[in-house]
Amino acid sequence: MNGSPSHNYRTRLQSSDPAIHDALVGEEKRQQAGIELIPSENYTYPEVLELLGSVFTNKYSEGYPGKRYYGGQKYTDFIEILACERAKKLFRGEHANVQPLSGSAMNQAVYLGLLKPGDTILAMELSHGGHLTHGAPVSHMGTIFNFVRYKSLPDGTLDYHAIAQLAEKHKPQMVLCGYSSYPRDLDYAAFRQIADSVGALAMADISHYGGLVAGNAMANPMDFGFDVITTTTHKSLRGPRGGLIVSKLKHAKAIDKSVFPGLQGGPHMNAVAAIATTLLKAQQPAFKEHCQQVLANAQALAEQFHKHAVTLVTGGTENHLLVINTIVSFDINGHDAQELLDQVGITTNKQVIPDDPLSPARPSGIRIGTPAATTRGMLEPDMMKIADWITDTLNNPNDANHLETISRQVNQFCAQFDVPGL
């Protein structure tokens, strides 16, 4: 295949920019040789990589299909319409917008399109599992809108009666649910009822687990009458980096206007094409089986950690992720735990825990998830090995020889599993 376009492009890159070429090769080797456990990361489809590097990158397409500001839109209109139709079918919505350039932009577009500056949004506290875009004070949205935050209980569950009381007190214009580090499922019927009780919109940000919703492994908020859901298109969906908004038809005009021209200019049509292909992949039986395996693997991880007496935030998981309290379990902060695990080829991320007494730079936990490992074909017995390695590593932070042995074991283990696209 030496005459293939991809080979020719790689050769050309090596010649024109050897430093970047070497970094690319290095990253490919890193992904092959290590275990990716950051729950927001995954391995995208080879078809997606092909489309991201396609000639759709060259095309400006400001506006919407049939209403563009540039000519030459025959095929860009086709792929965007197809992507929107597939999104509506997959997430059972009446309207879809596939143009947001990222998850942050998609959430901002919803807030700015459906609300007025100063309006109140009831959302989950960041350290209890919410997301930066859910009104964290350091975010721009946190200064534009009045966010009131609910927390989880000490056992990790949500007190929906208390959330309803907050709604009654603050009369929000929007009730927002969804999470980035909360290891449990949500009661969407309860959230819809809380929103209805104060005449608020109901929004769910399912960015982390959008693929699991698409694969019918987790509940779909649209089935409970939500006004809008947002999801990134990578993570558990395995697509390109981007944002997707699905809503009731009555919100279509406001959301579309908020995305363009309100918040951004031309969409990245290479990503739109890749989103369309991703959404087709997500309709297939194989993807639904994959989603069930993601959940089964997370359960296997949790069970093995319990055997090692590792403390998990909320005590376990009902989705694709777990949060380990590394201070209680190993007397190591999350930053140092992340660095140690990197040394042996296991990639995680430091994570604040509910009401964390430590700083976000050196928090009390790490967050791990199973989408990427599952994509490589790892199953429950493999999760047990991974839990053993994590526990062994964090129990022996100063034993260089032992850590080197674990690193070799991890490398040999990973050689059994292909990385899609490599």
Active-site residue flag, 77: no
Active-site residue flag, 355: no
Selecting among 36, 80, 125, 205, the annotated active-site residue is 205
What backbone phi and psi angles, to 5 degrees, belong to 54? Answer: -95, 175
Sequence-ordered list of residues with C-beta below 8 angstroms from that of 113, at least 6 positions apart, any chain = 251, 254, 255, 257, 258, 259, 262
Active-site residue flag, 393: no
Active-site residue flag, 182: no
Active-site residue flag, 9: no
Selecting among 235, 238, 350, 376, the annotated active-site residue is 235
Rounded to 5°, the CA angle 241-185-45 comes to 25
Selecting among 41, 62, 119, 380, the annotated active-site residue is 62
Active-site residue flag, 205: yes
Q: Is the peptide bond before 18 cis (omega within 30 degrees of 0)?
A: no
Rg (CA), the chain: 22
- Residue owning tokens 């140092």: 336
Selecting among 10, 241, 288, 385, the annotated active-site residue is 241
Selecting among 44, 232, 314, 393, the annotated active-site residue is 232
Beta pairing, strands 63-64 & 67-68: antiparallel
Distance CA 52, CA 38 (A): 23
Selecting among 10, 50, 59, 60, the annotated active-site residue is 60
Per-residue DSSP letter, 258: I
- Residue 111 has a CB neighbour count (10 Å cut-off) of 23
Distance CA 234, CA 317 (A): 21
Per-residue DSSP letter, 217: S
* E-state strands within 280-381: 321-325, 346-347, 349-351, 365-369
Active site residues: 60, 62, 205, 232, 235, 241
